[in-house]
Structure 1
Amino acid sequence: MVISPLLRQLARTRRFTLGAPARFTVAPDGARVLFLRSRAGDDPVGCLWSLDPASGAEHLLADPDVREIAHPHLARLNEACGHTVHLAVFEEGEVLYIDKVESRYPVRMYSRIGKPVAITVAAVAKLLLADLPEPERRALTDKLDYPMYTARSTPHAEAFRKELAKVREQGWATDLGGHEESINCVAAPIRGADGRVVAAMSVSAPNVVVTADELLTLLPQVRRTADAISGEYSGRTPIKEAP
């Protein structure tokens, strides 16, 4: 894709009145561009947007409110455990990372804000899809591909629906070597005022740093963090003023 016409397209109409686009990610086929842009020129919080270069149509994929509220909580969890912490949302049939706090360890995960996750195995994806209405969940799982990344990957739609039902009932999810044999992950949902899942957060680590069993001991802390974010996002928890 030629970038200069893209930048000219982004400069039109209201785009730079909201804030300058930044951190572009171009889809491999050039059909979509993801970028961050704030709500106003003086707003430091970036929204995740999608642009169709052919038509100029753009879509807000992730409102900054949940990311803005969640980030301090994610950072504190990262400081406490040292592992990679992600925040993800479900938009336009994909699960996308909208925030990431890096591990303190030298062995790190390759993941990027705005990058789609492996939807049939990722713990955050399981939480987001498990909360969909049953007809929508069935239709989506029927049309997905099920690549066998590892021997622990989800093999087919029926197995995935069974896993999603389990996740929906227990209220948390894992990916124990389903995408990469050496990476494990535990995740918890973030809910809005209506109880629906609006985002999911996770802690991930390679097994050379911590075993799967050791990572699972962090699940209560991950769930408490998600509950705290949910409370603040939904307005149930008063926001304390800084001293």
Structure 2
Amino acid sequence: MFLYYGGYYGGYGMGSHSSYWIYLLIALLVPMLAQAYLSSTFNQYLRVRASSGLTGADVARRILDRNGLMDVHLTEVGGRLSDHYDPTRKTVRLSHDIYYGTSLAALAVAAHECGHAIQHANAYAPLQFRSAMFPIVNFANKFGYLAILLGFIFGGSQFLLLGIILVGITVLFQLVTLPVEFNASARALNQLSEMNILYSGEEKAGARKVLTAAALTYVAGAVVAVAELLRLIMIFNSRQND
């Protein structure tokens, strides 16, 4: 997935007054700044046409074929910045602006999603670990905060501890996502350079800025998630000491 930012904004209990406000500042400000930077950078380079004249779909198909991934499909998907690689169906899905666009942003995003397809084909370890976590993470997302809520309602430390463990699993998932995304961007830039799709240093710098801005949204999500986990642990420890 190309775009992600988030974290856990809900709260059950405040812990210390100062730590709560520090957490709230992180939870609100960090994702907002990352999203604003991504929107600004993406919109800037969406208006810069690449010298090659290739569309995002053209670039994606060339990268996939060059890496022997002729069996990976390429389709258009609705939405904006909804681009992603689906490993279960071996399909790269690109949004309209990326699929048909000839901008530096379109080429960078298309190449990034192909980077995920290459990771999948090469059995890239962090991607495999992340994929294996999906069933557990889905369970943790559904029941983590329910367990925490029950812990606060009924005063049961067991429920609260279980909820923290489940939230910790989702935080681990976000942390594992970081090397997956950064590696996909590195692969994308290498492919664009080696195939001479980006002609100048200025074009390469523009593509790198787009991918860096996208990566920062994942970093922001991880920072918020870690801050929330630490806040919950502090609350748990405080209740244990009471």
What band does the TM-score fall into relative to the shorter chain? under 0.3
Counting helix residues as a fraction of each chain, which structure ranks higher? 2
Q: What TM-score do you get using the length of structure 2 for normalisation?
A: 0.27
More relative contact order, 1 or 2 (CA 8 Å, 6+ apart): 2
TM-score when scaled to structure 1? 0.27
